[in-house]
Each structure stands twice: as structure tokens, then as C-alpha cells.
Structure 1
Amino acid sequence: MSLHRNLKSSIAALALLGAGLGFAAPANADAVVDIQAAGKLNVGVFADFPPFSSASSDMSLKGYDMDVAQAIADALKVELVPVAVTGQNRIPYLNDRRVDLLMSVGYSDERAEVIDYAAAYAPYYIAVIGPAAADVTEPADLAGKSIAVNKGTLEDTSLTEAAPEGTDIKRFDNYNSVIQAFISGQTDLMVVGNDVGASVLAKQDEMKPEQKFQLLSSPSHIALNKGEEALKTAINDTIAKMIEDGSLNASSQTWLKVDLNPENLKD
């Protein structure tokens, strides 16, 4: 059986697991008590979101999000159970207590009305990426440079706002085209999110691409249900410990291919 078919089967199985985790718990339940009584922490993750979470060669989910989720499960002394979610169903899964928490959730006032947020744990930002030899450190340096960007995205909007007159912005229909234009030399630079950029930083040894500067930062949080203060404390304590002992930076180096900058964890 091909890896692609195995991957589809794995994701489907995770989705079925998410659908059958049970009914909503009573409103006055303590999540930590329930989690430890069950012996497992059900964590909602995107099943195909590298480098934060995606299926590895053995079909288990690996990535930055999975490292952090495992650390939280270890702190609670329970088994980690990843549950595949989508952008559309993950908030209902959390509110219905099909999962105990969600990874990779950006903060918004609208979401804050129905869910709670633990501390930011993952940097998410839009960055200008270029060869190590390119002298680019700020928006003014983009003048006279050609830059690839995915048309109509937040990256496009951010670049258009920051770019000075004389910048040659080349817009493409998808990220693969953006990356290809950059690595083939069609453009001097590219603008992508750090999730997309991580794959380029990892694979282009000859070019030695690097992040030049950020255009926009919006860190990811772990989401949980409102009123679960004990669980929120456990999550925040775990993140603080990972920052202090260097394990979060090690995960960033492994998956995001850059050192973790604590400034990138600020909204």
C-alpha cells in the first residue's frame, strides 16, 4: 500500500476517533480531573499541517505542535491522543468536549467569546526570505528587488503595504509556484509564513536561504474551554518550563529551522 494511501487512512482514522469521543461533559466538570481519570488527553490538531503536525513515515503525527502536546500530556501523567480536526469543526469539537484542547489557534476577539486561550506557544509570522548573501534587513531594502508572493493572501497584503516604490512584486497562484520562482532564481526574495518557509530553509543548502525580517506576527495559542482554570494553569506552566529548559527552542530548531525568539510569542 502506498504512503499516500496510508496517510489518507491514518487521517480518516483520526477523524473517526474525534467523532466518537463521547458526549459533552457536565458544565461544572473539572477538565484536569476528567483527563486524569480517563488517563488520556484528547488534543485537536490539524493532521496535515507541516511542520506543526503531519504524518511521519510510521504514520504517527509529528511536528512542533505534537512536541508541545506531548509535554502537556506528560505533565498531566496521561496518554496523548491526537484527534484530527478542521478549521470548521475544531471549535465545536472543543465546546462539545470531544477534545480537551486545541493546538495552533490564533487569537481573535470573536473566538474569545466562546473559548479561552492559554499562553502563546508557537511563533507564526510572515517573513521575507532570501539568500544569505542578500543584504536585506528592512522594508526599505526591498526597492529594486523582485519578490514572489501568493496572490490574494495575507502575505500579499502585508508585502504590498510595506514595500517601497520600485519593488517588483510577482504574484503567483499557490505556494509551490512561489517557492519554485524563488529557488529557481526568477525572483530575488519571497514572502511566506514561517510554516511554508521552514520547508525551504531545511532543503536549500546550496542557496542557504534565511529569514531577513518579519512583516507580521500573530503567535499561535492553545485553546481550551472557558472556566477550566486548572487546565489552563497546567498548560501555561508546561510552556513556561519548556521555554526555561530550552526544549521549546530545540523543537523550534528541529521543525521550524530557526531559534525560538520569545518576542515572537507576543500578540
Structure 2
Amino acid sequence: MNLQNSLKSSIAALALIGAGFAFTAPASADAVADIQKAGVLNVGVFADFPPFSSASSDMSLKGYDMDVAQAIADTLKVKLVPVAVTGQNRIPYLNDHRVDLLMSVGYSDERAQVIDYAAAYAPYYIAVIGPAATEVKDAAGLAGKSIAVNKGTLEDTSLTEAAPEGTDIKRFDNYNSVIQAFISGQTDLMVVGNDVGAQVLAKQEAMKPEQKFQLLSSPSHIALNKGEDALKAAINDTVARMVEDGSLNASSQEWLKVELNPDNLKD
């Protein structure tokens, strides 16, 4: 079996394992007691979402989200069980108690009507990225520069609003085309989210790309069901401790390739 098929099998197995635990998990106002009685914390994660979570060479999920999820499981003194979810099914999985919490959830008033949010734990922002040799400090510095961006995305909207007259915005149909245009020298800069940017920062050593400045910040939260105050407190305490002891910054440097800025955890 080749690596790609192995990864697909691993992801499918995670989903089945999660579903198996899900149907036995009782619904209760005291989620912490239920989790500790079961001995497992079922965490909904995107199985192919690097650098936040993705299958590694040993078939286990690794990434920024997994580091934080493991820390929460350690706080509760239970085993971490990752459950593969999608953007479409993850809220129903949480509401149906198939998972105890969800990673990488952006805040919205609409979602807040049906789920609760613990503290922001992961920075998500849209940034201008360019070679170290290119000096750009703010939006004014974009004038006269060519910039690659994914057409019709939030990145495109944010760049269009911020770019001064004289900026050459080159729009592409997907992120691979954006990255290729940038690393091949077709454009001076590119605008992407920090999830995509981390992969470029990690791989292009000769160019030495770096983040120039941010266009928009919208941190990710951990979601849980409403009324689970003890679980929310445990999550918040874990995140606060990770910020305080530097372990969250260590995860940021390993996976996101940047120093963690606490301001990026503010809505």
C-alpha cells in the first residue's frame, strides 16, 4: 500500500474510531465527569489541515491542534481520541455528543446560538508574505509591488481594501497557483492565511520568505456544547497555562513557523 492510500486509510479509521466512541458517550450537564468516567476525550479535528492537523509518517495526526488537544486531555487525565470531521458535519457531531469538543472553530454570532466557545487558542490571520530582502512594513509599501492572491477569497477582499493605488494584484484560482507565482518570482509578494503561509515559510529556505504585516486577524477557538461550564473552565485553564509556560509558543514555532503573538489570540 502506498503512502497516500495509507494516509487515507488512517483518516478513515480515525473517523470510525470516533464514531464508535460517540455512540456510547452519554449526554450530561457534567461533561467532565462523563469524559473522566469514559477515560477518553473525543476531539473533532480536520484530518487534512496542515499545519494544524494532518497525518504523519507513522499514521498518527500531528500539528498545532493536536498539541493543544493533547494538553487538554492531559489536564483531564484521559486518553485523547481524535475524530475526523468535516466543515459540514462537525457542529452536528458536537451537538449529538459524538465529540466532546471541536478544534479550529472561528467565532460567529450564528454559531454562538448553538454552541459555546472556550478561549481563543490559535492565531488565524491573513498576512502579506515576501522575501526577506524585500522591505514592506505596511499597506502603503504595497504600491508598485505585484501580489499573488487566491481570487474571490477573504484574502482577496482584505488585500483589495488595503492596497493603495499602483498595487498590481494578480488573482489566481487556487492556493497552489498563488504559491507557485510567488516562489517562481512572477510576483513580489503573496497574501495568504497563516495556515498556508506556514508551509511556504518552512520550505523556501533560499528565498527566506517572511511575514511582512497582517491584513486581518480572526483567531480560532475551541468549541463545546452549551452549559458545560466545568469543561470550558478546564479548556481555558489549559490554554492559559500553555501561554504562560511557553508551550503554546513552542507549538507555534514548530508548526506555524512564527513566534506566537498573544495579541493574535484576541478577537
How high is the TM-score relative to the length of structure 2?
Answer: 0.98
Q: Does 1:19 align with 2:9?
A: no
Task: Give, in angstroms, the shift of residue 107 of structure 1.
Answer: 0.2
The answer for the alignment partner of 1:226 in structure 2 is 226
Task: Give, in angstroms, the shift of residue 167 of structure 1.
Answer: 0.3
Residue by residue, what CA displacement relative to the aligned partner does 1:21-59 show, whole Å, maximum 9, x if unpaired? 216734x43100000000000000000000000000000
The answer for the alignment partner of 2:52 in structure 1 is 52
1:23·1:97 contact (CA, 8 Å) conserved in 2?
no
Aligned pairs for 1:128-167 within 5 A: 128-167=128-167
Q: Which amino acid aligns with 2:53?
A: S
The answer for the alignment partner of 1:99 in structure 2 is 99
1:148·1:169 contact (CA, 8 Å) conserved in 2?
yes
The answer for the alignment partner of 1:84 in structure 2 is 84
> 1:41 aligns to what SS in structure 2?
strand
1:18·1:85 contact (CA, 8 Å) conserved in 2?
no
Aligned pairs for 1:206-245 within 5 A: 206-245=206-245
1:24·1:96 contact (CA, 8 Å) conserved in 2?
no
Task: Give, in angstroms, the shift of residue 18 of structure 1.
Answer: 2.9
- How far, CA to CA, are the matches of 1:6 and 1:261 in structure 2? 36
- How far, CA to CA, are the matches of 2:51 and 2:70 in structure 1? 16
The answer for the alignment partner of 1:120 in structure 2 is 120
2:26·2:34 contact (CA, 8 Å) conserved in 1?
no
Q: Which amino acid aligns with 2:23?
A: G
> 2:223 aligns to what SS in structure 1?
strand
Q: Which amino acid aligns with 2:82?
A: P
The answer for the alignment partner of 1:262 in structure 2 is 262
Task: Give, in angstroms, the shift of residue 16 of structure 1.
Answer: 1.8
- How far, CA to CA, are the matches of 1:132 and 1:4 in structure 2? 34
The answer for the alignment partner of 2:32 in structure 1 is 32
Aligned pairs for 1:185-204 within 5 A: 185-204=185-204
Q: Which amino acid aligns with 1:186?
A: Q
Residue by residue, what CA displacement relative to the aligned partner does 1:142-176 show, whole Å, maximum 9, x if unpaired? 00000000011110011001000000000011101
- How far, CA to CA, are the matches of 1:121 and 1:29 in structure 2? 24
2:29·2:227 contact (CA, 8 Å) conserved in 1?
no
Deviation larger for 144-153 or 10-19: 10-19
Structure 1 runs, 4 residues or longer, greater than 2 Å off: 17-20, 23-26
Q: CA RMSD in A?
A: 0.9
> 2:92 aligns to what SS in structure 1?
helix
Task: Give, in angstroms, the shift of residue 19 of structure 1.
Answer: 2.8
- How far, CA to CA, are the matches of 1:16 and 1:243 in structure 2? 33
1:25·1:96 contact (CA, 8 Å) conserved in 2?
no
Residue by residue, what CA displacement relative to the aligned partner does 1:103-133 show, whole Å, maximum 9, x if unpaired? 0000000000000000000000000000111
> 1:109 aligns to what SS in structure 2?
coil
Aligned pairs for 1:165-184 within 5 A: 165-184=165-184
2:198·2:255 contact (CA, 8 Å) conserved in 1?
yes
> 1:43 aligns to what SS in structure 2?
strand
Q: Where does structure 2 lack aligned partners over 5 or more consecutive residues?
A: none
How high is the TM-score relative to the length of structure 1?
Answer: 0.98
Q: Matched residue pairs, number?
A: 266
Residues 229 and 88 of structure 1, relative CA distance in 2, 3 Å threshold: same
- How far, CA to CA, are the matches of 2:91 and 2:227 in structure 1? 16
> 2:226 aligns to what SS in structure 1?
coil
- How far, CA to CA, are the matches of 2:81 and 2:53 in structure 1? 13
